[in-house]
Structure 1
Amino acid sequence: MSYPLLVVTAVAAEAEAVRAGADPAHVVVEAVGVGPAAAAAGTARLLATGDYRAVISAGIAGGFAGRAPVGATVIGVRSICADLGAESPGGFLPIEELGFGTSLVSADPGLIEAMTTALPHAVTGDVLTLSTVTGTAATAVRLAEAFPGAVAEAMEGFGVAMAAGRTPFAELRTISNPVGPRDRAAWRLKEAIAALSTASAALWTTCG
């Protein structure tokens, strides 16, 4: 028996974009809410009430300058909770340095291979999960320096990854805006949603 693939998004518009290219017989798509807590709770509920062969966190995101331009499709090889830790006089201390756990989940290698095959022009790298997304140039620079492998930031991936547990996990994003000052006029939300639908159609042909 072949179990379906579970794709979780934050909001309904993202879910609709993914569904547009998905085969409902092989892919289940649900919007679970914004932020890591809602994403984790919603994903856990879905995994507890159904059998799925893998779970993908999908949606739009901000892209780091010089790494993932607006309009790009991103495949997250690692999901990192970039604000999980503590402040200190010397700067931010990640949860690992406090000895309380991990802020990083690696995506499933098999899923990454299938996704990069289906989307050969996608940018691959780390995707940061933040409860408060970046709104200043200073924060963008700090994050880029602290996470040199980061190509994008969003708000759900780490939560989905933690809920997935032993279920294979990966993250798929399309870039609507650069990470940094919040210039809503420069955001390309409709284009990013359309790109998510296009990426999904190509992806499910291989992974669905």
Structure 2
Amino acid sequence: MELQAEEGRLIAAAGPGRVLVATAVPVERDAVAAGLPAARAGGEAPLDVITVGVGPASAAAATAAALTAAALRDRPYDLVVSAGIGGGFQPDAPVGSLVVADEVVAADLGAETEDGFLPVTELGFGTVRHRPPGELVRRVTEATGARAGAVLTVSTVTGTAARAAALRERHPTALAEAMEGFGVAEAAAAQGVPVLEIRAVSNPVGPRDRDAWRIPDALAALTEAFGKLAPVLEGWNRHDR
């Protein structure tokens, strides 16, 4: 596959359309790019894969910068995809499986009180969730076999069974946990661009048992997924909600 390096990003061709794929770290970027079709002769690549850093703040800043730069070049993006590996809530999202978000949720943005956690929306501020286009989510699940459910964005990765249980109680449809999706979604929403989040499960959400992590398997699943996703993403019309 032909890849072009430009300002710290890898660009791979997948056909017509303009899609930005935001990953946290280079190994995720490379896994996504490895699944994309070989670059076609002539023309610019319509599917750009970038690294945006770890955590929602870094992801939001880098995604916003990429969207703004593209708009200023008069080549705006039609879709932003947050992609990478993450933790899966057991038993619904086993290690090695693929999850697509039907909700991108900021799970720990709020306040701890004596009565429990309050999301920031209940404090009278902002938002804590973004909903990807339902038709696109359906097409992704059909193409890849992924399960659809909420993907939680956290600033602190879950490391105990008690916190995993508390998150699942607050978010019964949650399938996965990661650290960048909500930041990417906030940047996309600010510019009116739809968002999608895709996670390959590398470990169970809960106690940090490094022996149970399967990062290479999750990266391989991400590569396989994007091999199937390229025609779905390039063929999707942003008005198909």
Same-fold status (TM-score > 0.5) = yes
Q: TM class, shorter-chain normalised?
A: over 0.9
Q: Distance in 1 between matches of 2:140 and 2:19?
A: 13
Q: Distance in 2 between matches of 1:62 and 1:205?
A: 27
Corresponding residue number in structure 2 for 1:163: 187
Paired amino acid for 1:36: P
The answer to whether structure 1 residue 133 and structure 2 residue 178 are counterparts is no
In the superposition, the TM-score normalised over structure 2's length comes to 0.83
Corresponding residue number in structure 2 for 1:99: 124
After TM superposition, the structure 1 stretch with the greater mean CA deviation from structure 2, 9-18 or 104-113, is 104-113
Q: Residues 169-184 of structure 1: matches in 2 within 5 Å?
A: 169-184=195-210
Paired amino acid for 1:201: G
Identify the match of residue 29 of structure 2 among 12, 15, 37: 15
Aligned residue for 2:184, secondary structure, equals helix
Root-mean-square deviation over aligned CA pairs? 1.1
Paired amino acid for 2:98: T
Give the drift of 1:82.
0.4
Q: Distance in 2 between matches of 1:206 and 1:98?
A: 39
Paired amino acid for 1:56: V
Identify the match of residue 51 of structure 2 among 31, 34, 41: 31
Identify the match of residue 107 of structure 2 among 77, 82, 96: 82
Corresponding residue number in structure 1 for 2:211: 185
Q: Distance in 2 between matches of 1:54 and 1:80?
A: 18
Equivalent residues of 1:114, 1:207 under 8 A apart: no
Corresponding residue number in structure 1 for 2:6: none
Corresponding residue number in structure 1 for 2:239: none
Give the drift of 1:117.
2.8
Which structure: larger Rg? 2
Residues matched between the structures, number: 206
Give the drift of 1:97.
1.1
Corresponding residue number in structure 2 for 1:5: 19
Q: Distance in 2 between matches of 1:108 and 1:47?
A: 19
Q: Distance in 1 between matches of 2:92 and 2:83?
A: 19
Paired amino acid for 1:118: A
Corresponding residue number in structure 2 for 1:71: 96
Equivalent residues of 1:57, 1:170 under 8 A apart: yes
Unaligned runs of 5+ in 1: none
Unaligned runs of 5+ in 2: 1-15, 40-44, 71-75, 235-241
Aligned residue for 1:87, secondary structure, equals strand
Equivalent residues of 1:111, 1:168 under 8 A apart: no
Moved over 6 A (4+): none
Give the drift of 1:116.
2.1
After TM superposition, the structure 1 stretch with the greater mean CA deviation from structure 2, 35-44 or 198-207, is 198-207
Q: Distance in 1 between matches of 2:148 and 2:135?
A: 14
Corresponding residue number in structure 2 for 1:149: 173
Q: Distance in 1 between matches of 2:233 and 2:129?
A: 24
Give the drift of 1:205.
2.7
Identify the match of residue 55 of structure 1 among 73, 77, 80: 80
Bigger relative contact order (CA 8 A; separation at least 6): 1
Provide the identity percentage.
52
Paired amino acid for 1:33: G
Paired amino acid for 1:28: D
